[in-house]
Amino acid sequence: MYSNTDVLVKTPKSSDKGTIHILTTGYVLLATEYHWDSEKRCPVDKRISIGKIVDGDRSHMHPNKNYERFFGPIDAEVNRQKDTFGTKARKAAGKTDSKLSFGPYLVLKAAAEQSGCYTALTRVYPEYERKIIALAVYSIVAESSTAQLFPGWCFDHYCGLDRVIDDSEVSGLYRLIGSDEGNINVFFRIFREEYEKRFPRKDSNRVIAFDSTNQNTQSENEDLAEFGKSKTDFGLKIINTAMFVDEETGIPMWYEHYDGSLLDKVQTCFSLKKIVDAGYQKLFAMFDRGYFSEDIIKALRKVKDLEYGVLCPDNVNWVDELIKDHGAEIRGRQKYLTTEPNVFGKRYPVTVAGKACFAYLFFDHSREFDEEQSIRSTISYYFNEASKRKRYTEKMAQDYAPKGIIVVKKADPETGKNFTILEDTEMIQTMVDRAGFFVLVSDTEMTASEAIRIIRRRDVVEHVFESIKRHFDLSVTYTHSIETYRGKMFTAFIASILFATLTWDLREVLHDKTSATIAYEMMELNKYKVELQSDGSWYPSYAMSRIQKELISKVGLTEDEAINQATEIKLLV
């Protein structure tokens, strides 16, 4: 019988009093007084019932009088404190740990407020903006977006929630967000307003980097998932994502998903219209070579209050002529040295798509060496590939001619084959002479130094894509509905805003320390923890280190403000 069925104690897992056994009937037995049974020829123990587990929960039990005989009087206060502070008991009960990492949330929440992202979320998603921020913080700190792992991570990391939520609730949140794409578009508009208050444009136009990428997906039910031209081919369907990023801060400001089978050049004009519809005005949009075409140039001219710059492929006729006619004029000439080291440039008037505009011709000494090495490696590769062919064909000759390899139908006495392979030295020399040169076309008149500065900052959009694919582990998605996909990627976009804003805030730290990265700084911030007090409140476990003080100061916080935020934590404990 039980001494008191209202009393619960933790089920002993082991004891110096004996071995604990839990029967299928729920009874908990303590094995004591081992002795040798000569008949059975084995050791035998004496088992005594000490209680019974509660509703299948093996972690707690109702004790009987034998429990008190072996383990002493039941101390309700000690048991209460064990449940309050004991790590294993708290995890079993679905609570957070009694000590939580607090530093990452502290700075990332500040970054969300600085960018205007947090205000936009509270206005558009007042029901669950805290969950969105929590999942964004999780993506950055844990370097993962896997919903199933979130509850475990949340156990010992504070992320703004008042309780631990399970993976089904995370998936449900994704579906809620993705089921109403109109709200996402409203967020873009509100975020634009808040962002521009905090980062007012310094020049007449805000310079943005526009680019697109694609994600592989394991899912078959995505409306957007189709087979297309994947940059990393896993043999899976893909979904395309277009995005533009503020070149000054590196903070992403807008994105959209579109069918995996659509080409970037085809979709760009429609994307630009959506950007304008979101309220963006007076933009200078910077595009990579993949977007160059006369149709794109014509479309860009039709967008109100939009200036543009597009890098040009070398195989465009007028680009080739421009380099041939003026390359020697600027190459290595001090007169045309830009503000970028070893880069020389000059503006020339040209006509593209039937209208006068400007071409900015540049020569980069560093780029010249890399490109020349690449050219020679490529020629060597194709020469070896052609050498592996067994017999001459016209198609073979046609395929290798543009690659700088001449294939002649003439017997080669050394190989015994019916063709001879030669390098096209004239073509190769022309390619080498072009090394280091590149051209930007734009309708905007500016200096060569201004143009090269815009070009060099264009890679900020690549950094955002890299963070989504690599840092947040979203190079391949596994969602099984378009709603869940949209919600998950919206959360990833919010995480990208926080990540980029923090990178902007810490730019001096990251620049001054060769070993500094955001991941490294997160490790340092992880050490700043808060601890559960006996009265149910929370307080920092340790004083801030010098490095931690420096990091939080970059987002506008002091140690006293961090302590105040810690004491305001409310958790279901």
Give the per-residue pLDDT at 83: 66
Q: Assess whether 92 and 160 both reside in one domain.
A: yes
Q: Assess whether 86 and 195 both reside in one domain.
A: yes
Phi-psi region of 436 (alpha: psi -120 to 50; beta: other; left: phi over 0): left
Give the per-residue pLDDT at 3: 46
- In eight-state DSSP terms, residue 148 is G
Q: Specify if 191 maps to a domain.
A: yes
Tell me the CA end-to-end span of the chain in Å, nearest whole number: 32
Domain boundary among 33, 59, 74: 74
Identity (one letter) of the amino acid at 496?
S
The residues with which 254 forms a beta bridge, in sequence order, are 244
Block residue for tokens 């407020």: 113
Q: Assess whether 109 and 220 both reside in one domain.
A: no
Q: Assess whether 156 and 225 both reside in one domain.
A: no
Q: Specify if 260 maps to a domain.
A: yes
363: nearest Cα among 338, 395, 393: 338
Q: Assess whether 502 and 569 both reside in one domain.
A: yes
Cβ within 8 Å of residue 104, ≥6 positions away: 137, 140, 141, 157, 522, 525, 526
Helix, strand, coil percentages, rounded to 5, for the chain = 45, 25, 30
Block residue for tokens 């070893």: 342
Domain boundary among 58, 74, 90: 74
b/e burial code for range 158-168 (CB count within 10 A of at least 16 → b) = bbbbeebbeee
Q: Assess whether 154 and 97 both reside in one domain.
A: yes
Q: Specify if 140 maps to a domain.
A: yes
Q: Cα separation of 478 and 148, whole Å?
A: 12
Give the per-residue pLDDT at 106: 97
CA dist 168 to 43, 148, 150, 324, Å?
49, 8, 10, 62
Q: Assess whether 135 and 235 both reside in one domain.
A: no
Q: Specify if 169 maps to a domain.
A: yes
Q: Specify if 370 maps to a domain.
A: no
59: nearest Cα among 67, 71, 48, 51: 51
Long-range Cβ contacts of 62-67 (<8 Å, 24+ apart): 62/2, 62/4, 62/5, 62/7, 62/8, 63/2, 63/3, 63/4, 63/7, 63/9, 64/1, 64/2, 64/3, 65/1, 65/3, 66/30, 67/3, 67/9
CB of 524 within 8 A of CB of 547?
Answer: yes
Q: Assess whether 193 and 227 both reside in one domain.
A: no
Q: Cα separation of 253 and 247, whole Å?
A: 11
Sheet with strand 57-63: strands edge to edge: 9-10, 57-63, 42-54, 27-37, 19-22
Give the per-residue pLDDT at 11: 86
Q: Cα separation of 450 and 134, whole Å?
A: 40
The residues with which 362 forms a beta bridge, in sequence order, are 345, 438
Rg (CA), the chain: 33
Q: Cα separation of 106 and 170, whole Å?
A: 22
Single pTM value for the model? 0.78
Q: Specify if 387 maps to a domain.
A: no
Give the per-residue pLDDT at 553: 96
CA dist 570 to 81, 538, 552, Å?
19, 8, 22
CA dist 280 to 186, 200, 274, 298, 458, Å?
13, 13, 9, 20, 19
Q: Assess whether 237 and 132 both reside in one domain.
A: no
Cβ within 8 Å of residue 67, ≥6 positions away: 3, 9, 50, 51, 74
Q: Specify if 381 maps to a domain.
A: no
Q: Cα separation of 568 and 537, whole Å?
A: 8
Which stretch of DSSP H or E encloses residue 307? strand 306-311
Sheet with strand 538-540: strands edge to edge: 99-101, 529-532, 538-540
Q: Assess whether 80 and 194 both reside in one domain.
A: yes
Which residues in the chain come in under a pLDDT of 70? 1-6, 76-90, 92-93, 203, 218-235, 260-265, 475-476, 512-516, 572-573
Cβ within 8 Å of residue 127, ≥6 positions away: none
Give the per-residue pLDDT at 260: 63
CB of 386 within 8 A of CB of 366?
Answer: no
Q: Assess whether 13 and 45 both reside in one domain.
A: yes
Task: Please count the structural domains in the chain.
Answer: 3
Q: Specify if 44 maps to a domain.
A: yes
Structure token digits, residue 138: 């999780």
Q: What is the 3-state secondary structure (H, E, C) of 430-483?
A: HHHHHCCEEEEEECCCCCHHHHHHHHHHHHHHHHHHHHHHHHCCCCEECCCCHH
Q: Cα separation of 253 and 246, whole Å?
A: 7
Q: Assess whether 83 and 174 both reside in one domain.
A: yes
pLDDT tens digits along 516-566: 588 889 999 999 999 999 888 999 999 999 999 999 999 999 999 999 999
Phi, psi of 227 (to 5 degrees): -75, 135
Domain boundary among 74, 101, 117: 74
Owning domain of residue 185: 75-200+481-573
